Every structure is written in C-alpha cells, then in structure tokens.
Amino acid sequence: MRFIRPMLAATEEQLPREGKWSMEVKLDGIRAIAIKNGAQTRLFSRRPRDISADYPEIAHAIAGLPARQLMVDGEIAALDEKGRSSFQLLQNAKRDPAARDRVFYFMFDLMHVDGRDTTSLPLAQRRKMLRRLAPPGVSLKLSASLDGSFQRVWNLVRKLGLEGIIAKREDSKYEAGRRSGAWIKIKARHEQEFVIGGYTPPKGHREYFGSILAGYYAGKQLFYSGRVGTGFDAAALASLYGRFQKIRAAACPFSNLPTKGRIHSGQGVTAAEMKRYAWLRPRLVCQVKFLEWTRDGNLRQPVFLGLREDKRPPDVARET
C-alpha cells in the first residue's frame, strides 16, 4: 500500500445549488495521510514528506486502530482554548512539549482498509466506514459534519471566528491529487501560503531581519505580493535567519520587481530599495493571514503565522 496524493478542494465563495453536500469546519493545520501497514504506521504530508517523527502520539494512535491495513486522510491541527484551530499554535507546539496535548489528527476520509480500495465508493459510504473503524482517541478526532442550511452554518462560522467551510458532494469519489470541484473550500478569513523570496534589513531593536518578501506563482513566474513584518517572536527570527543563509541568491527572484507606475498600497519596491534587500532562492513556503488584497495586488496588514513544510513552492498560487 503506497502513498497517494490527497484530493484537493477548489476555492469558491458560496455553496453550489446542485447536488447534495456535506459541510465540515475548515481547519487551519497540516494535511496528512496516515498509512498503517501491519506493524508499521507512518504519517505523510502533501509533498510527500514523512512527518511521523514530528507527531509520534498521532502515529501511535493510528497504530491502535482495529485494522491490519489502513489509509486515512485528515488534518493535523492544534486547538486554542475556545476550540478553534490555529496554525501558529501548531507551530509553537513543536517547540513547547506542554502544548502537544492540544494537537489532534482530525480524520475525514478513508481510502483503503484491509486490502480493499475504497476510493471509488461514495463519500457518504466512506465516512460511514471510517466512523465504525476509528472511534476518537486521545490524539484522534473525527471531523464532524455540520447540520443545517449553508447560510446558518456560514453565519455561525463567521461568528465564532473560524477559518471557513469545506463542502463535499456526498456522492463524490476520492480523486487522488485532483481539484475536481467535488470538494470546495469557502474561506471566512483571508489566509493562504506564500513563497519567501527575500528579506529586508532589520530596523530599531529588532535582530536578524525586518520583513520577509512574500510572493506566489503564476505559471513559472514568481510574483511579489508584499512585505510581511509582524508575527515573528525572537526564536522565529533567529531560526528563519539561519535557514535563509543556506539559500541566499544573487538576483531577485520576483518577476514584477522593481515596481513600476503608481503605488496605492505602500508595498511597492523601487530599484534603489532593492539594493538593500537580501534575495533568496524560492525554497521556503510560509502561512500568512491578511486583511485583504489591494488594488495593486499586494497584501494589506499581513501577519506571519509559520513555515509550511508540507507545501511545494511551485504549487503556491494566489487564491481567489
């Protein structure tokens, strides 16, 4: 039984009228495929990268499920005191063992069990099989379906400050690696991944660097989307700076710099400013939350949340 790439969700603004859909809370964590094969249990990120050693409690809990062979799709997420998922809290849990009891694996799909490939079965049937197979444990939770109309669920998600909704057609097959539209994500917060292409020098009392220079891919070109200067603690500044020195580059990786024309957002970069910046090979992906996109295509009030080791830079595109 080998790793298969997870099925992906398309971004939409509201639920389609056609079809019967089930809804789940969109979690702000790391997508993970869990594979149990006899005595061996492993967790893989989307890339794929083996992350079993990063989350041994979850791997151990999967090993205890009543099946000889198993492949489950889910999300590793950390919950705050109000029960909301937080990517920043998940990053902090890696450095703080006391926070690890807030980290859970939310299981939402079953692709294989004891020699049977279940990907061609309807989602509703796969979910039913998963519920029978995997009762919640210390580190495991079943991602719950949300009852009620879309508008009622959406209003509640907005009120509670949750990230959004994942909606899935109940008759959909599991389409590995595809973004077919049978699964959609509807975001209540502006947050997505960006590629780090450089950094600015530090100012005042800050050490290491001032801001990171973030961007996204459109085709094979990397487009600059703004400076991200908040969300870093002292440990993050030092750790990131150390990683930056291993991927320094002589030339700017952004195809749309220096900025030309009138700049409304204050995020423009002139040729003179570029001489002070340090450039990086686009190897690192980070998670950023922000207020909105400006008319210039830049980020307004962006905040750094953490690195995304599970995402490939070429896969990072602007979400609309």
Domain segments of the chain: what residues? 10-187, 191-315
CATH of 10-187, one of 3.30.470.30, 3.30.2310.20, 1.10.490.10, 3.90.180.10: 3.30.470.30
> Any idea which architecture 191-315 has in CATH?
Beta Barrel (2.40)
Is residue 160 over pLDDT 70?
A: yes
Is residue 49 over pLDDT 60?
A: yes
What is the tens place of the pLDDT at every residue in 260-284? 765 545 677 889 999 999 999 999 9
Query: Mean pLDDT over residues 39-68, rounded?
Result: 93
CA distances from 98 to 52, 93, 95, 231 (A): 19, 8, 9, 21
Band (pLDDT 50/70/90 cuts) for residue 97 is: confident
Query: Mean pLDDT over residues 67-90, rounded?
Result: 93
Is residue 85 over pLDDT 80?
A: yes
- The half-sphere exposure of 181 on its side-chain side, counting CA atoms within 13 A, is 6
Which one is catalytic: 20, 26, 168, 203? 26
Band (pLDDT 50/70/90 cuts) for residue 196 is: very high
The per-residue pLDDT for 295 is 85
The per-residue pLDDT for 2 is 87
Radius of gyration over alpha carbons of the chain, in Å? 21
Is residue 194 over pLDDT 70?
A: yes
Residue 190 in tokens: 């502006």
Active site residue 26: yes
